[in-house]
Amino acid sequence: MGNAGRVTDVSVRPDLDVLVRPDLDASKQAPTPMKGRFAPSPTGYMHLGNVWVALLSWLSVRLQGGQWVLRIEDIDTARSKPALAEELMNDLEWLGLTWDEGPRVGGPDGPYYQSERSDYYESIIGQWAAAGAVYPCYCNRARLLQIASAPHEGEAPVYYDGHCRHLTEAERAEASSRKTPSLRRAVFEPAIVSWCDYWQGSQSQLIRPEADDFVVRRADGMYAYNLAVVADDAAMGITEIIRGYDLLDATGIQLWLYEQLGFPVPHYGHVPLLIDSEGARLSKRQHSITIRELREAGYTAADIIGRLASMAGLTAMTGGDGSHGVDAGFGAGRGGFEAFDAEALFHRLRDAGFVNLNNNDYLKDSHLKLTNFDIKV
């Protein structure tokens, strides 16, 4: 992806008033069927936190009669490993969380590896550059603490001061002799972005010029998370995004980006993060929580699905609107479990009248302590 410095001779136009979008087939611009997705990064083995999100997304899509897409977010080629991508898919198949589009099964919107979609991202940046909507940034990592990967809950927001936006051509030429720049997408007008999250309720974020000018391509050529995820979700016709609470704060700028590109906006649901007994977020660095380790310890796929379903309150739900209440007769609710394979759980919920998971009160927290697993994390 050696694209660093490809677009550097650009100037920011404050009078920009056009929406720039990449060319899409007419079919992509028309209303699309319901589609959800799971988009893991192959930087470690799949663990319970990953499966938690995948299961809820898979169930939501199945209950709505939609299509579930698997996309491998291997845009960070230095950390991503093809062998780990294969292991992720093996684990999903073992768990019964099969996908309708993606690697191994194909589909109309591939490729389904982000590392193979660089030309698409670059086409968007090129149109922005032609419209004067991106500019080179020479600020170093120490000054900005700017990262291109997905944000993590608990980190302080990173705001830009607009320094490189106002450099003269001579200053840019001098800076280019010392450092390959990243590229930033300029925000020209303040905007309040509002949306209603399935479980976190009404949300709004202020998007500000300069402060929210965000990196779209790093100096090393790596495309930024916000650009890649929005571009891919739109190109693949994703209409519902279920992901962890840690990405809630990234939603505002992503929705702003949808509007700038002229893409249809998906529905969002942010589920609680699983935490261990000491309150720490589950991560790939912890032991005994990966699916391969649980499998080696004797857990079956139905054990894992049933335990996670119980934590989500799915075994204690009664109404077809997805609200939770007294035990529905198939499990003990949170704190107890009944083993379910994924398909059986889906049929049980569907037969009980569920059409989605949107009103599940168990998913309205920001964090949820891992229970039902006799493991040390």
The one-letter amino acid code at 76 reads: D
Quote the CA–CA distance of 242 and 82 in Å, as a whole number: 24
Quote the CA–CA distance of 56 and 352 in Å, as a whole number: 17
**Which residue numbers are catalytic?**
284
288 φ/ψ angles, rounded to the nearest 5 degrees: 70, 10
Quote the CA–CA distance of 266 and 268 in Å, as a whole number: 6
* DSSP characters over 139-179: --HHHH---SSPP-TTPPP-----GGGG--HHHHHHHHTT-
Label residue 372 exposed, middle or buried (CB < 10 Å: 0-12, 13-18, 19+).
middle
- Identify the residue whose tokens are 């800076």: 175
